A and B are shown apart, each in its own frame.
Chain A
């Protein structure tokens, strides 16, 4: 499908925000779902690039789909030079979005860098379902300069910031900040966490989730070939004893080993959102 570029702006350093016009009768994405975008018309860059939905703003005749991205290579560099009015070839929405349960009144979002992209929509969706919900955002980066979206984070909930060097907010990483906030009783006792960021951060959050019996969901990232479940590139190991399969977590792409002790899931088809306990982090984190 071809979608018109409504906006494509640099928001900080190499972070950009893209807005596409989606016809209101098109299938609309849920937070956590993604689109694959053809970045250019040549063979280099070659493959479509996956981008998660950031925000969806419904207007009368059209829908504004926002994508937040970081320029990291040839594809995103091309994308950053797209002009308003141009058409982009995008396929989506693909994959499965985050799940929202009505009884989650306390929600904690843990992001690092561009990981905030799919989580912002989570906050909006939670507040739309339950106006009394309390949203906490833990947002961080390497240094103060690399923190972006501060104002937006504060707008949607109670925001805490962290940096590796302590140049802004808490010195440390997201999981360390989460532990700190829990220990100093700045967070409710029970909450559900939604997280997106580097895999080692997600693994550390999974350990906290397990230790304190806190539910959580993560959005994973991996190189994708097709986004359609055909090329089998984006395999992720799950814990064989903990694979969630119900009406919320339909997983058509599971591939078990012959002895059924190992199982891989395709992030494009079964994910990119997983239960935080479901991923076999030891096998996934390099």
Chain B
């Protein structure tokens, strides 16, 4: 079926084969899904957030299910930038689609260093700045809730990289449009939203958090979709750069909602856990929808909310 409609687009210098990507943190380093997904078919691969040093991550218990959602506090466990380059990046040598690396730092300098290190690797096509992780200091939310900090960070990273620059926004602000506008002004190629919302669940028998000593975690999954869709529409009405919609997408129909609301692409998160093939099914589903509706280019669908 592939090839009958034009699904591709450009995000700055980076080509997206189609508007469907896995969301950072739900797809490991890509290889975890190779038995289920043809990675070459993805719009792009977004790997989990990488920090300068390896991080062991949060203490168990790291996740718990809530109605239609998941509370997770992983604490940005990752192999660190050196480990990523040595052990994980070579895998993408044979993968024919764009690669976006999510990066997180404890200071603007760390983000800049990560960007500089990745400049030496042409296989990496884009950076997604994680300034919205609800659980940790590094890659943490405090970069994403202060407009001036966001401005400084995006400006500094833009200065040192020519790769596609995407900024992942947190919903934990009064007006997310302000942050999206700042990203646009500072030269970001796209914004992605939303990251998880902080949340809690308590075991009333034991009177302790269901996330153990982590207490709270990020709420993700279908439970957050209506809120995510609302914010994506707000941001799409405000900025001209592409917007990646994220939040509880579990089907083609969900993905279409974000595209119709104005998102240029979508990131699939939690549902990868439930159906590891979901990205493939949504790519096929979007193409089928376009054909059925006699649309030849994905751009004819994006932002068509009447």
Q: List chain A positions with a Cβ less than 8 A from chain B.
A: 38, 43-48, 91, 222-223, 225-237, 255-258, 262-264, 283-284, 286
Contacts and interface: CB of A to CB of B under 8 A. Distances in A.
Interface stretch (B68-76, B97-105, B108-116, B152-160): B68-76
Contacts of B28: 228-230, 232
Contacts of A263: 56
B3 interface: no
A222 B61 contact: yes
A226 B72 contact: no
Contact of A258 (B48, B54, B68, B222): B54
Nearest to A267: B60
B27 interface: yes
A232 B56 contact: no
Contacts of A225: 63, 70, 72, 270, 273
A284 to B, nearest CB: 7
A216 to B, nearest CB: 21
B57 interface: yes
B221 to A, nearest CB: 6
Contacts of A235: 57-58, 60, 62, 77
Contact of A230 (B27, B55, B56, B70): B27
Given A229-B28, A230-B28, 7 more contacts: A48-B274, A227-B273, A228-B28, A232-B62, A235-B58, A235-B60, A257-B56
A232 B77 contact: yes
A226 B59 CA distance: 18
B212 interface: yes
B33 A223 contact: no
Given A47-B273, A262-B56, A228 B250 contact: no
B272 interface: yes
A255 to B, nearest CB: 5
A45 B33 CA distance: 23
A231 B276 contact: no
A208 B116 CA distance: 52
A222 B63 CA distance: 9
Contacts of B74: 231-233
Contacts of B208: 286
B67 interface: yes
Given A43-B250, A44-B68, A230 B57 contact: no
- Most chain A beta carbons < 10 A, residue from B25, B48, B64, B273: B273
Given A43-B222, A45-B65, A230 B33 contact: yes
Nearest to B68: A43
A223 B65 contact: yes
| Interface magnitude class on chain B | 35 or more
A235 B26 CA distance: 15
Pick the 9 closest A-B CB pairs, nearest first: A230-B28, A226-B273, A233-B63, A257-B56, A230-B32, A43-B68, A43-B222, A232-B74, A225-B273
Nearest to A45: B65
A230 B62 CA distance: 13
B60 A237 contact: yes
B276 A256 contact: no
B71 to A, nearest CB: 10
Interface in B240-282: 250, 270, 272-276
19 contacts: A43-B68, A43-B221, A46-B65, A223-B62, A225-B63, A228-B273, A228-B276, A230-B27, A230-B33, A231-B63, A231-B273, A232-B48, A233-B74, A235-B60, A237-B59, A255-B56, A283-B59, A284-B60, A286-B208
A223 B64 contact: yes
B53 interface: yes
B79 interface: yes
Contacts of B60: 222, 234-237, 284
A257 B78 CA distance: 10
B21 to A, nearest CB: 15
B68 A286 contact: no
Contacts of B57: 232, 235, 255, 264
Contacts of A230: 26-28, 32-33, 272-273
Nearest to B74: A232
A48 B54 contact: no
Contacts of A47: 65, 70, 273-274
Contacts of B32: 228-230
Contacts of B54: 255-258
Contacts of A233: 62-63, 72, 74
A264 B221 contact: no
- Most chain A beta carbons < 10 A, residue from B27, B56, B64, B79: B56
B157 to A, nearest CB: 24
Contacts of B62: 223, 232-235
B45 to A, nearest CB: 12
A236 B77 CA distance: 13
Contacts of A284: 60
A269 to B, nearest CB: 8
Contact of A46 (B26, B36, B80, B274): B274
Contact of B69 (A46, A228, A237, A286): A46
A227 B63 CA distance: 13
Contacts of A46: 65, 68-70, 221-222, 270, 274
A188 to B, nearest CB: 35
A83 to B, nearest CB: 22
